[in-house]
Amino acid sequence: MCVYGFPFIIFSIRDSIKSKRKEAENAQKKVYDTFMRELEATNAKNDERVKELADEYNCKFSALTAEYNSRTAALTVERDSAVEELEKHKANLSSLLSSNLTAMPWLAGMISDYLTYDFEVEAKKLEWGHNIQREKKTASVRAIRADAQKRIEEAKIATYQLEYLRTLYPALDDILETDYKELNFTGEIPEYDPVRDYLSREEWLSLSQIERDQLALDRYVQSHSKSKWQIGRDYELSVAYEYRKKGYVVDTTGSYLQLEDMGRDVIAKSKENILIIQCKYWSSSKTIHEKHIMQLYGTCVLYQIENHIMPGVVKGLFITNTKLSDKARSIAAALNITVVENHPITEFPRIKCNIGRDEFGPTKIYHLPMDAQYDITQIKNPGEFYAFTVKEAVDAGFRRAFRWHGQ
């Protein structure tokens, strides 16, 4: 090759390199421009999606705000309506009591006058001539009649008031059927161990504390001579145990509030709702009437108002071992009260294991159904529970609550 042609080759190679570099730069610029266009398009789409999401969020937020305001307004109206109904109820009761000064005494006076008329007949028989002794006897007979009239009037007025109040407050039926001697309002611990009522003297002397308590509990469960209060209490605790097994947090208000439970025998709470449960264990020949359903509905509304709860959360549940009248059943459906009929007492743990405190610190005590403080003892704190057997309670570190003296 001629040396003079070498520079030409060098220049050709240089030009080729420049050309290739230019092509690479152009290709790189083209890729960059394409990327930037795609990026701008993506950003535009993202901005549009963000705007759509913002609009969607604002729309949902506005809807939720409107729904909240609507529910708040509805609750306010319902609360005001309930308060108005309570005021009317108070006014009606006040009117009832004031009417005792007119209608009821007038009717009672007529009946007492009729029932004591025989006294006046006897007085008329003595009322002839001017004999002093007969005049004294006549005055005495009429004085006896006046006293009898007064007593009959008072008794009749009390009877009329009671019957009217029973229509207004169905829970009075339960109170009137309760022997107050069965209830312990003071919580005092007597010096006599009630377990002895279920054991013979030989059993008491020969058995250990655990054996005594368990045998007494077994006989209490099997007993056919329980009081109405004890049977009703067992029914409430049985229902409470069923709902506790379903995962509800249960409060047996009927057990410890006794006559002041306002028809809320059991309150069962879950994340979704609150059940106000009324339990009725009656003779199978008796029928539940509509006034009991209406009482449960009323106490549900009152609970909702007292605790500032949104509508629909508090629900009424009526459970009974007997049946409802057709009218009571239809009213329950109209008021959205759930009814469970012919529901028996099922087995449940009866021993209350409660943790208290004294001057020495925490005290773990178990209570049997016949113990004085059984009804007023609540099981609600961590570590407390219901036990089926005395051994179960003792194994958990609990001791008997009752303290007695002597044998």
Could you list the pLDDT tens digit for every one of the 407 residues in the chain?
455 555 666 667 767 777 777 777 777 777 777 877 777 777 777 777 778 877 787 888 788 788 778 777 776 776 677 667 667 666 665 665 555 555 666 667 777 776 777 777 777 777 766 777 777 888 888 888 888 888 887 887 777 777 766 666 666 666 566 555 555 545 555 567 888 889 999 999 999 999 999 999 999 999 988 888 888 889 999 999 999 999 999 988 765 555 455 678 899 999 889 999 999 998 888 888 888 898 889 889 888 888 888 888 999 999 999 999 999 999 999 999 999 999 999 999 999 999 988 777 788 999 999 888 888 888 888 999 999 999 999 999 999 875 543 33
C-beta separation of 396 from 379 below 8 A: no
What's the pLDDT at 404?
44
326 is a domain residue:
no
C-beta separation of 305 from 79 below 8 A: yes
47 is a domain residue:
yes
What's the pLDDT at 245?
93
45 is a domain residue:
yes
| 60 and 82 inside one domain | yes
Rg of the chain over CA atoms, in angstroms?
41
Domain that holds residue 140: 103-168
| 27 and 72 inside one domain | yes
Which tokens hold the place of 269? 């709470």
72 is a domain residue:
yes
What's the pLDDT at 170?
63
Count the domains in the chain.
2
pTM score = 0.57
- H-assigned helices in 116-195: 117-126, 132-168, 171-176
48 is a domain residue:
yes
How many C-beta atoms lie closer than 10 Å to residue 234's C-beta? 20
